[in-house]
Structure 1
């Protein structure tokens, strides 16, 4: 049985991919909402309480589906990942780099969730500093999905990734627009950063996941690169 046929006959693979895809969509919505309405860009029609509640609910749903994604991957007999890989990055023998990026994203989000539960004890300034990690988790999680996803080349999946990129870019563009003329340097730097992400993703897709045999070559390359670290 070929690798594709083995995956197609495995319901855990479908559950893993579905959980990861939904988690990415929800994380995209969480990050985009946080960017668009943060600071002085908060909407005037909807109250801050409602926006904050929606933001927290989206974040909680993201973690729930991420938990499903991790659990089904950990018990899948095809990959033999185990539970250690879920919290310790780059320790897997199966696509270690790309799975490691997913672990890094999960660890960042877990840190945000734990500190949010301890927000009153930590204080707003410390909590806010850790909270910014959620924004870093989004691109890391996106590259994890692009690099390790066996369905990355499917048109639907590509359109979904493009929509996620466009959503976050639009939110960032709106935030930069609302920053005002007094923040020219921040707007320029933010604009360059926003533009660099889709360019990097497009270049990565063209040179990697969209090429034939990517999954096999990526596994071999990452094993060779990370083998000396273990």
Structure 2
């Protein structure tokens, strides 16, 4: 049975996620219309567009991950768990593609003053080194998360699953990178706030809904993945197995 205190927190999280999600759509549309008349160099605009796209994809990626591991997801009939997992994997692929595009454009654009070193090494960028470094750390953290997830079938779940949770930290870093590095942050401020609160609200419902039984079930699944053929033998009252 779930803890009584978790219900009000979960409801608050749902309301926060829904309101912030609707606000995010509105702000995104407003920012897209405002950006039409921009006068920035084309490569920079292309870099910002690919960066914002990868950010939106990362938000969706983390959100689907939270839904996949959400205790309430057991009651979902449609879409199926396989479809949800496929969506999660597809979002990870597209996030990687647009992130690579974002990095390549910035690294090859002299006007951006980032360069290849700044795009892959911390504090090596001439342009806003701290803000760019947040993105660099998020990039490497995301790569580690993706590689370990790809190897989920060949390495123990107790190894890759905690590493996989780094994706949430990557989103925080990317959020900070987007807010501090972009020249269009004034126009997108509401968008970043709305999407950040949307994921936060979903995360609140995710962890507020957990109870000891959910934790036991998760550990059991991890043990089954580590040792598919192993089963714990039941014990008698005297402690002996049968």
Structure 1: gaps of 5 or more residues: 1-6, 184-230
Residues 37 and 118 of structure 1: CA distance in aligned 2, closer, same or farther (over 3 Å):
closer
How big is the shift at 1:74? 0.6
Cα distance in structure 2, aligned partners of 1:174 and 1:39 = 8
Q: Which residue of 2 aligns with 1:116?
A: 149
Tell me the secondary structure at the aligned position of residue 63 of structure 1: helix
Residues 112 and 181 of structure 1: CA distance in aligned 2, closer, same or farther (over 3 Å):
closer
Cα distance in structure 1, aligned partners of 2:213 and 2:180 = 39
For the 8 Å contact 1:37–1:175, the answer to whether it is kept is: no
Which structure is higher in RCO with an 8 Å CA cutoff and minimum separation 6?
A: 2
Structure 2: gaps of 5 or more residues: 1-37, 215-242
| Structure possessing the higher radius of gyration over alpha carbons | 2
Using the size of structure 1 for normalisation, the TM-score is: 0.70
Using the size of structure 2 for normalisation, the TM-score is: 0.66
Cα distance in structure 2, aligned partners of 1:173 and 1:115 = 25
For residues 146-165 of structure 1, the aligned pairs below 5 Å read: 146-154=179-187, 157-165=188-196
**Partner deviation per Cα, 1:56-114 (whole Å, 9 max, x = no partner):** 11111111111111111111111332222222222212211000000011111111122
Q: Which residue of 2 aligns with 1:66?
A: 99
Report the number of matched residues. Answer: 175
For the 8 Å contact 1:89–1:100, the answer to whether it is kept is: yes
For residues 123-134 of structure 1, the aligned pairs below 5 Å read: 123-134=156-167
**Partner deviation per Cα, 1:9-61 (whole Å, 9 max, x = no partner):** 41111111101101111111111221233152324213221111111111111
Deviating runs (4+, > 6 A) in structure 1?
A: none
For the 8 Å contact 2:106–2:119, the answer to whether it is kept is: no
Tell me the secondary structure at the aligned position of residue 121 of structure 2: coil
User: Cα RMSD between the aligned structures?
Assistant: 2.1
How big is the shift at 1:177? 4.0
